[in-house]
Structure 1
Amino acid sequence: MNLRSLDLNLLVIFDAVYKERSISKAARTLHLSQPTVSNALGRLRDRLGDPLFERSGQGMVPTSRAKTLAEPIRQALDALERGLRGDGDFDFAHSDREFVVAVEDYGETIILPRFVDWLAKVAPRIRIRIRPEPSAQLKGELRDGAVDLALDYFVPQEPAYRNKCVLTETLLSLSRRDHPEIGEKLGLETFLGLRHVVLAPRTNAMPMIDLALSKRGLARKIAVTVPHFLSMPVMVQTSDMICTLPRRMAHLYADHFRLKSHAVPLRMPSFPVYLIWHEVAERDASHRWFRNHLMDFCERL
């Protein structure tokens, strides 16, 4: 294919459909009409000679060719984005600064790997140390500079702590593909009848899915409680249990572990993921460079 003859806007649309697994959601993300996105996707399909996505009960499922293209296209778009931004006050190409980021396994799995890959290309001497999930000492560590940034679902309320919502998430359930009790769609009755692998809560607050069920006088059958998301698909893969976890992570694990994803059979609100730092780092040029680029990556996921 001659790249000069390809409309690069088609790649932006491909990237959005791949992330959202939905033409209508991609259209909203891009502020375009649904027919515009559908027509653009059709043009790209013709150029590449591949359907790229197939409709199913789980939304737009990418083909093998689409999965092969997704990461190179994402990296190319990231490079363009950063080239257009420009960076002036921090010699990132030669800096050997270490940045400490506190995350739980969602950020460690979904957000940081691609960012670290990009960072190795543009600032190869910069180092990242990933701290375990945010703890009770986080506020003091941010204030004292022991931690530069945190990715979390909860934000400190004191005005000295800055935060930005960098993405929002929803939930999906996962089961093994040949689950004997689940058809094309996971219904509420089946959902409640199955045994669940759940994540141990970090706070005393009830997890949002259990809160939604309790308001209707319902409850899940919790079979196993685990400390990390990664345990969940491993257990589900070899059993009749199911698990529920954030959408981006569910898509990743569904592909990797050959699982089937299902919409949660409840009306569930989306929830935010925040990037958090202390005001003492606000004017630090290197910190500003690092956090701005990390924000960009999060917002494009």
Structure 2
Amino acid sequence: MPMLSPDLNQLALLHELMLERRVSRVADKLGLTQPAVSNALARLRRRFGDELFVPTPAGMVPTPLAERLAGPVGAGLALIRGALAPAPAFDPATAQRAFTVGMTDIGEIVFLPRLVQRLAEVAPGVSLSTVRNTAVDLADELAQGRVDLAIGLLPQLQAGFHQRRLFRQRYVLLCRRGHALDVARPALAAYRAAEHLVVVSPGTGHGQVDTLLQRAGIHRRVRLTVPHFVSVGHLLARSELVATVPERLAAELAAPFGLVARPLPVKLPEVEINAFWHARVHRADDNRWLRETVFGLFGPRPPGR
């Protein structure tokens, strides 16, 4: 029966004997007794069928075989120790790192401007790219490490991922300034009679608005349906259309497009906007920093702030 290859501890001992050339020094360095070092050396000699180190008055002198083993063993141990060493702490001020964040088109409007501004302030070497929730399978992309973080109303990520709520928000009525519904409390009849812009938003929970309104017995006059929120501001600014949108989106679109947000004449449930990440990066310093940055920008504010 062939003898087993030496384990890492024996190779580490061989490496230290090459450096120190004395059993007593190796014992002190490795925290072993001298008999333990001698016994380990005896096992190595049997394994290789060679003396490896010969005692002399000047110390242990390596044999030619030991000298031949020294280079590869030392390099291998260094490689293993380097792989097992703790990764250096993530320093955003000096890091050169690219992150990918999955989000909806609403997220690109609501989150990206402030997030990019913060990165420019505190992490100049960090770059950011986004992927639309409708363009990829976010669950798979997060699991494979191709997406670092996902943000939004993303029901497909509710199970199997770490998540943290950023905020809750309601839906509001959005229309151009001076519209007939630009009043403090729009009437339900006027809301029903208005011409509506409806956004069909696949892959998010925002598509539930029409279902919720129908359950409340409200049927809208739909004049235009679009597949995303990017064009909402332009369309409302130049028409008599109204839209039912999340309040954070309304806040971002109001000033640039001359729009106003008004309360809906019907109560709809609030929705939760969350950040999602995979267990594989839960303890990674760089991902934790990105998450904390997002939480700090968009999460709940401490009392008094």
Quickly name the TM-score band, shorter chain normalised: 0.5 to 0.7
Q: Deviations over 1:167-209 (max 9, x none)?
A: 1111111122222465443111001101111111315989443
Query: Contact 1:198–1:232 at 8 Å: present in 2 too?
Result: no
CA–CA separation in structure 1 for the residues paired with 2:158 and 2:246: 25
The aligned residue for residue 237 of structure 1 is: 237
Deviation at residue 277 of structure 1 after TM alignment: 0.9
1:97-246 equivalence runs, <5 A:
97-135=97-135, 137-153=137-153, 154-159=155-160, 161-180=161-180, 183-202=183-202, 207-246=207-246
Aligned partner letter, 2:133:
E
Task: Give the structure 2 partner of residue 282 of structure 1.
Answer: 282
What letter corresponds to residue 252 of structure 1 in structure 2?
Answer: E
Give how far 1:119 is off: 1.1
Q: Which amino acid letter does the alignment assign opposite residue 249 of structure 1?
A: L
What is the letter of the counterpart of residue 166 of structure 2?
V
Compare 233-242 and 204-213 and name the one that shifted more.
Answer: 204-213
Q: How many Å separate the matches in 1 of 2:298 and 2:205?
A: 26
For residues 205 and 116 of structure 1, the distance between their equivalents in structure 2, rounded to whole angstroms, comes to: 25
Residue 267 of structure 1: CA displacement? 0.9
1:279 deviation in Å?
0.4
Aligned to 1:267: 267
The separation in 2 between residues aligned to 1:180 and 1:174, in whole angstroms, is 12
Deviation at 1:127, TM superposition (A): 0.7
2:227 maps to amino acid: P
CA distance in 1, matches of 2:216, 2:284: 49
Return the alpha-carbon distance in structure 2 between the equivalents of residues 155 and 101 of structure 1: 16
Cα RMSD, aligned residues only:
2.2
- Given that residues 183 and 262 in structure 2 are in contact (C-alpha distance below 8 angstroms), is that contact kept between their aligned partners in structure 1? no
For residues 136 and 238 of structure 1, do their structure 2 counterparts lie closer, same or farther at Cα, with a shift above 3 Å needed?
same
Indicate how the Cα distance of structure 1 residues 189 and 145 shifts in structure 2: closer, same or farther if over 3 A, else same. same
1:122 partner letter: V
**Contact 2:173–2:263 (CA<8 Å) still a contact in 1?**
yes
Tell me the CA shift for residue 289 of structure 1: 1.0
What is the TM-score of this pair, normalised by structure 1? 0.65
> Partner of 2:157: helix, strand, or coil?
coil
2:290 paired with 1:293: no
State percent identity of aligned pairs: 28
Work out whether residues 233 and 257 of structure 2, in 8 Å CA contact, stay in contact via their aligned partners in 1.
yes
Cα distance change of structure 1 residues 126 and 217 upon mapping to structure 2, 3 Å threshold: same
Report the Cα offset of residue 230 of structure 1: 2.5
> What is the CA distance between 1:101 and its match in structure 2?
0.3
Inter-partner Cα distance in structure 2 for 1:147 and 1:198: 30
- Structure 1, unaligned runs of 5 or more: 1-87
TM-score, normalised with respect to structure 2: 0.64
Correspondence list, 1:11-50, <5 A: none
Paired letter, 1:147:
V
Describe the superposition over 1:80-124 as per-residue Cα deviations: whole angstroms up to 9, x where unpaired: xxxxxxxx9312111111000011122111112112111111110
Partner SS for 1:172: strand
State the distance in 1 between where 2:254 and 2:274 align. 25
Higher radius of gyration, 1 or 2: 2
Partners of 2:252 and 2:204 lie apart in 1 by 28
Query: How far 1:290 moved relative to its partner?
Result: 1.1
Q: Which amino acid aligns with 1:209?
A: V
Contact 1:212 1:268 in 2 (8 A): yes
Contact 1:195 1:240 in 2 (8 A): yes
Cα deviation for residue 212 of structure 1 reads: 3.0
CA 1:157–1:114: 2 relative to 1, 3 Å:
closer
Q: Deviations over 1:227-282 (max 9, x none)?
A: 22131221111111111111121122111111222111111111011111110001
Give me the whole-angstrom Cα distance separating, in 1, the residues matched to 2:276 and 2:149. Answer: 6
Partner SS state of residue 292, structure 1: helix
In structure 1, C-alpha distance between the alignment counterparts of 2:117 and 2:110, rounded to whole Å? 13
How has the CA–CA distance of structure 1 residues 182 and 275 changed in structure 2, closer, same or farther, with 3 Å as cutoff?
closer
Do the aligned partners of residues 148 and 181 (structure 1) sit closer, same or farther apart at CA in structure 2, a change above 3 Å counting? closer
3-state SS in 1 of match to 2:260: strand
